[in-house]
Amino acid sequence: MISQFFILSSKGDPLIYKDFRGDSGGRDVAELFYRKLTGLPGEESPVVMHHDDRHFVHIRHSGLYLVATTSENISPFSLLELLSRLATLLGDYCGSLGEGTISRNVALVYELLDEVLDYGYVQTTSTEMLRNFIQTEAVVSKPFSLFDLSSVGLFGAETQQSKVAPSSAASRPVLSSRSDQSQKNEVFLDVVERLSVLIASNGSLLKVDVQGEIRLKSFLPSGSEMRIGLTEEFCVGKSELRGYGPGIRVDEVSFHSSVQLDEFESHRILRLQPPQGELTVMRYQLSDDLPSPLPFRLFPSVQWDRGSGRLQVYLKLRCDLPPKSQALNIRLHLPLPRGVVSLSQELSSPEQKAELWDGALRWDLPRVQGGSQLSGLFQMEVPGLPGPPGQGHSTSAPPLGLGPASLSFELPRHTCSGLQVRFLRLAFRHCSNANPHKWVRHLSHSDAYVIRI
Amino acid sequence: MPYLGSEDAVKELKKALCNPHVQANRLRYRNVIQRVIRMPGVQEYIQQPILNGLRDKASYVRRVAVLGCAKMHNLHGDSEVDGALVNELYSLLRDQDPIVVVNCLRSLEEILKQEGGVVINKPIAHHLLNRMSKLDQWGQAEVLNFLLRYQPRSEEELFDILNLLDSFLKSSSPSVVMGAAKLFLILAKKFPHVQTDVLMQVKGPLLAACSSESRELCFAALCHVRQILHSLPGHFSSHYKKFFCSYSEPHYIKLQKVEVLCELVNDENVQQVLEELRGYCTDVSADFAQAAIFAIGGIARTYTDQCVQILTELLELRQEHITTVVVQTFRDLVWLCPQCTEAVCQALPGCEENIQDSEGKQALIWLLGVHGERIPNAPYVLEDFVENVKSETFPAVKMELLTALLRLFLSRPAECQDMLGRLLHYCIEEEKDMAVRDRGLFYYRLLLAGIDEVKRILCSPKSDPSLGLLEDQAERPVNSWALDFNTLVPVYGKARWATISKCQGAERRGLELPNTASLAASGPLIPEEDKERVQELSDSGALMLVPNLQLTAEYFEKTWLSLQVAHQQVVPWQGAVHPDTLQMALQVVHIQTIAVSRAGAQPWKAYLSAQDDTGCLFLTELLLEPENLEMQISVKQTEARTETLSSFISVLETVIGTIGDIKP
């Protein structure tokens, strides 16, 4: 049971405020929440906070705070899930979730909240059922153009740098343009993988973890059936092996409840009748053995002269992707010992950049082609770092406080597990006009890619 | 806002409510009924529209009307429960529309709050179970929560239900999975193997949530992982890599992950975990670095050598924030694992240059005092502190310095005599802090009593059994937290939750509970006649407890850990415990109190011992969890004899009963 729900901008301005039970102190609560949040000591978690006999539970989404308050000892999982479902729903109806879209669509948001929650209890969150009751049309900032495809990104992928901007085609409200039928027939299917890797200082692989998702955003009329064909070699669990090659194996898979799996065993086909809006069709995880080589290898060498306090770090970065693929927005983050003062650098190509930032070295590479190799030589002065005297002066043992290096990057058109969508077929009977547009996209990005030095 | 509006709004609402066909337009009906919260003056108008709505053909209207019943009830304040309405709602549990069913449960729960909420009997429970698959995830999660209060009649029925629920453990929604898991844990409370099995099944979803993109979900899952680890320490050990931190994660997640890593360490992964933790110790954020060092200190209780080596290496960094935490860790470690004293003593010289804060200084001074005979330059380091005592800002450091110097004086008198004199002189003559001055005077008088006396008092066998140690070693049974699973309790942490519910409870109960402070001060603690009764009891039985038994805490702890529980039972108990009262009462019957939690601690614990004339020891643990309103008594016995055990327990029961009685 929720007492209140509100949305705050990143600066703490209340955008939406709804009181479901009429038993609470009014809008001040939103302010109180923001004050508590900003005044929280570093080690405490802001996820649940408590004031008087009210619990605040919130999520951060696209720079907004979605907050629910409750006075009951409620299940945190339900509440967090509800809040993220609300975020998706608002995104579906307003086009995308953000300060601008929310404040332009206040009436629509309140209308949605009225339908989703009654007296603080969830009634329904299915886009399908809600469609029947929502009258207001979304206000969008600019007309959408399908030709604006130069920057086709993914609609929901939040990478570290958020450089994969939502493409304008996908960030369109599900309900808008009722009149314009030609725009409606679009389906976006994204395979997004997050990669977390830990490599030991001797180069051996300590941990590989891939979290994958197949996300679908459909603008087709609801109830239209679609079939998604996955790579045939795809197998789940350790025992099973298909085909002749190494196979594309994942450890665990879970499907959305609307997915029918009758053709999955035999042909790796997912059948579903998706509602309009966004939907996670399938989630999967893969740990420890990856079918393809890791995208990046780092070969560091460190020269550390204790006497003069000079630290020289030579980094060689090799990209092991297939030659036709490339990685984008690569950033290497290397924490340095305290007190580093100057940095001189020799980089292998002019488009790279390196700087000292917050006690760490930051090396930015806009793009790296598969199979290529890049290097950077960095020299730093570390005056204040004393070592135990009496040992050899120049040594290759790194000083404490250096490393581990972490990489962040995006790999468009590449999945680390090797999973691909073979086809996306629509059984499209009742609507005779133009063929629907189908967009299938693949992307991997780094969650944590850490290399110890 | 739509409610609490102007008079016009009220008027308009009344008009809408008076319309006999208000439910004909479902959207309008919804609007009207939804707005009826906190609206004065419309109570008498809403009853009819709501009752009509309950029987409407459109499920949408019924959904709104069912919740409207709860609103109506709450609007009337604490009026009587309308029996007919309740019956109607119970019958609507059979409605075709799943949302109406769930809303009925919610509405009944609110209306019947005073009577303990909606009753789930066998037909309702089975009906709900059969409807489960028709509900959406929110409905499922909520119904699972309602089913918690159903008690199956037989084992057979229990397992039938568990079989039905099995598929929900595989749901793609974490809230349904956790709800089902909790129901499993509660229903199968007498079948530990079923519980373990369920926790195995939840492992996958929990781990997936732990690496979820949503930070908040990840945090909630991590808190639950910690909860499970308290009972099943090995549960996530093979997945330790999932809990490695990445630098982009927010602080609160990193700290949780470090805690988890600390708890799942075992022989196989200790090397990797320590290596990872060592990386965190040099993190840019001082808080996180310190948390990592404390975590290594925690692991050091089991894997001492490796950890002490890492900690010693960290000292070489000569960073203030690292050194101070390492020294504090060393202090705790030397106390708990004396075998590492030698290594710690070798690492200490030189640390004093890098410690500025009070906690770190206290730890260093304590170490120098207690183990000064093994650290060659200990007197000189302490001398520096004595030299600078005037500019020292923390009284606690001065107190520690006094004690440490006196201890060191006992083992190395020649080097310390002079500065001890100076320090005492300063503390007595110049110090402005009363506590420090009193401590100085106390030691001065103690020294006057002779050096042997000082030795006897300052260096007697170390007592203070640190209750925490006993607590940590005992694995908590799953049942102790099953009720808290999938609630906010693990997310807040048990300790914070206790303070939260305490101040909430105080607000709510307010007047009902008399002021406990005045109670403690009033009158004799045990009424005279009760004292006699107790005395009689202990005298008349076959049991003779030896008076003045002196058992050291170490001996108690050793014996306690080596014995099995011979008897366990619960006695009703209300409110907090006053340790002094209890201790005095127990002394009357010759039961010695070894260690007691401070008053008001939650859970409250006490360890007791007694010996009978044949030399048989009775060791007892009292455990009070305030929410249960009962005290749990566990007794261990060195010689298994049931007749003396039962008379001991009856004595104990009488005492506890008596103390409980004089409470309101």
In a domain, B440, yes or no: yes
In the CATH scheme, what is the code of domain A186-292+414-451? 2.60.40.1170
- Mean of pLDDT values over B449-463: 78
Q: How many CB atoms lie within 10 A of CB B538?
A: 22
Closest B-chain CA to A56: B488
Please report, rounded to a whole number, the percentage of residues in chain B having pLDDT higher than 90: 28
Residue B235 to residue B475: CA distance in whole angstroms = 13
A4-131: which CATH topology? Answer: Beta-Lactamase (3.30.450)
> Using the beta-carbon criterion (under 8 Å), do A283 and B217 form an inter-chain contact?
no
State pLDDT tens for residues B634-664: 888 887 777 788 888 888 887 777 776 654 4
Per-residue pLDDT band at B2 (split at 50, 70, 90): very low
In a domain, B494, yes or no: no
Q: Is A332 helix (H, G, I), strand (E, B) or coil?
A: strand
Q: Choosing among A54, A56, A123, which should be mutated to test the B contact, i.e. which has the most B CBs within 10 A?
A: A123
ipTM: 0.82
Q: Is B623 helix (H, G, I), strand (E, B) or coil?
A: strand
- Mean of pLDDT values over B348-353: 84
Longest dimension (CA), chain B: 102
Which candidate from A47, A83, A400 shows the least CB-CB separation from B219?
A47
Place of tokens 């406080």: A401
> Of the candidates A282, A279, A262, which has an alpha carbon nearest to the alpha carbon of residue A271?
A262
Which of left, alpha, beta for B350 (phi over 0: left; psi -120 to 50: alpha)?
left
Which of A24-28, B331-335, B403-407 has the lowest average pLDDT?
A24-28
* Residues in chain B closer than 8 A to A287 (CB atoms): 241
State pLDDT tens for residues B45-66: 778 888 888 888 888 889 988 9
- Mean of pLDDT values over B550-568: 79
CATH assignment of A296-383+397-412, given 2.60.40.1170, 3.30.750.200, 1.10.443.10, 2.40.50.100? 2.60.40.1170
Last residue of one domain, picked from the residues B463, B494, B509? B463
pLDDT at residue B592 is higher than 60? yes
Which of A24-28, B280-284, B285-289 has the lowest average pLDDT?
A24-28
- Mean of pLDDT values over B444-461: 84
CA atoms within 13 Å, Cβ hemisphere of B441: 10
pLDDT at A161: 37
Q: Is the CB of residue B333 less than 8 Å from the CB of residue B345?
A: no
Q: Is B200 helix (H, G, I), strand (E, B) or coil?
A: helix
Residue B525 to residue B531: CA distance in whole angstroms = 10
Residue B167 to residue B295: CA distance in whole angstroms = 38
Q: Does A450 touch chain B (CB under 8 A)?
A: yes
Neighbour-count burial of B90, counting CB atoms closer than 10 A to its CB (0-12 exposed, 13-18 middle, 19+ buried): middle
> Using the beta-carbon criterion (under 8 Å), do A50 and B251 form an inter-chain contact?
no
For chain A, the domains span 4-131, 186-292+414-451, 296-383+397-412
Residue B188 to residue B198: CA distance in whole angstroms = 10
Residue B273 to residue B264: CA distance in whole angstroms = 9
Domains A4-131 and A186-292+414-451 share a fold: no
Residue A139 to residue A133: CA distance in whole angstroms = 17
Q: Is A62 helix (H, G, I), strand (E, B) or coil?
A: coil
Last residue of one domain, picked from the residues B404, B432, B463? B463
User: Which position has the higher pLDDT, B131 or B515?
Assistant: B131
* Arithmetic mean of pLDDT over chain B: 82
In a domain, B64, yes or no: yes
pLDDT at A428: 63
Query: Where do runs of H (alpha helix) occur along A95-134?
Result: 99-104, 106-116, 127-131
Residue B54 to residue B56: CA distance in whole angstroms = 6
Per-residue pLDDT of chain A (453 residues; tens, 9 = 90+): 898 999 999 888 999 998 888 776 677 888 889 998 888 876 778 888 888 788 999 999 888 999 999 988 899 999 999 999 999 889 888 878 888 889 889 999 998 998 899 888 999 888 778 877 777 777 776 554 444 444 444 554 444 333 333 344 556 666 544 444 445 677 888 899 999 898 988 888 888 889 999 988 888 777 778 889 988 888 887 665 555 556 778 888 888 888 888 888 888 889 988 887 788 899 898 887 787 888 999 998 888 877 777 888 899 999 998 888 889 889 999 988 877 877 888 888 888 888 888 778 899 998 888 889 988 898 888 776 555 444 445 565 667 678 788 899 999 888 888 888 888 888 766 555 557 778 888 889 988 899 888
Which candidate from B4, B27, B103 shows the least CB-CB separation from A133?
B27
pLDDT at A244: 57
CATH number of B581's domain? 3.30.310.10
Q: Is the CB of residue B469 less than 8 Å from the CB of residue B477?
A: no
pLDDT at B157: 92
pLDDT at B460: 67
pTM: 0.77
State pLDDT tens for residues B601-641: 777 788 888 888 777 888 888 887 766 677 788 888 887 77
CB burial string A166-177: b at 16+ within 10 A, e below: bbbbbbbbbbbb
Q: Is the CB of residue A65 less than 8 Å from the CB of residue A58?
A: yes
Residue B112 to residue B146: CA distance in whole angstroms = 14
Domain count, chain B: 3
> Using the beta-carbon criterion (under 8 Å), do A84 and B488 form an inter-chain contact?
no
In a domain, B348, yes or no: no
Residue B552 to residue B594: CA distance in whole angstroms = 8
Please report, rounded to a whole number, the percentage of residues in chain B having pLDDT higher than 70: 85
Residue A117 to residue B90: CA distance in whole angstroms = 22
Last residue of one domain, picked from the residues B417, B443, B463? B463
Q: Is A327 helix (H, G, I), strand (E, B) or coil?
A: strand
In a domain, B395, yes or no: yes
Closest B-chain CA to A78: B175
> Using the beta-carbon criterion (under 8 Å), do A403 and B279 form an inter-chain contact?
yes
Residues 304-333 of A with CB under 8 A from B: 333
Q: Does A107 touch chain B (CB under 8 A)?
A: no
pLDDT at B366: 92
Q: Is the CB of residue A393 less than 8 Å from the CB of residue A305?
A: yes
pLDDT at A431: 53
CA atoms within 13 Å, Cβ hemisphere of B424: 20
Which candidate from A121, A126, A285 shows the least CB-CB separation from B106?
A121
Q: Does B632 touch chain A (CB under 8 A)?
A: no
Per-residue pLDDT band at B475 (split at 50, 70, 90): low
In a domain, B514, yes or no: no
The pair of structure tokens assigned to A375 is 């290097």
pLDDT at B444: 92
State pLDDT tens for residues B77-104: 666 778 888 999 999 999 999 999 999 9
In a domain, B623, yes or no: yes
Residues B12 and B112 in one domain: yes
> Using the beta-carbon criterion (under 8 Å), do A59 and B214 form an inter-chain contact?
yes
Residues 170-189 of B with CB under 8 A from A: 170-175, 178-179
Residues 488-527 of B with CB under 8 A from A: 488-489, 491-492, 496, 500, 504, 507
- Mean of pLDDT values over B222-240: 89
Per-residue pLDDT band at B292 (split at 50, 70, 90): very high
Residue B363 to residue B54: CA distance in whole angstroms = 70
Per the structure, the complete domain to which residue B639 belongs is given by 553-661
> Of the candidates B396, B322, B410, B411, which has an alpha carbon nearest to the alpha carbon of residue B365?
B396
Which of A104-113, A296-305, B244-253, B520-529 has the lowest average pLDDT?
B520-529
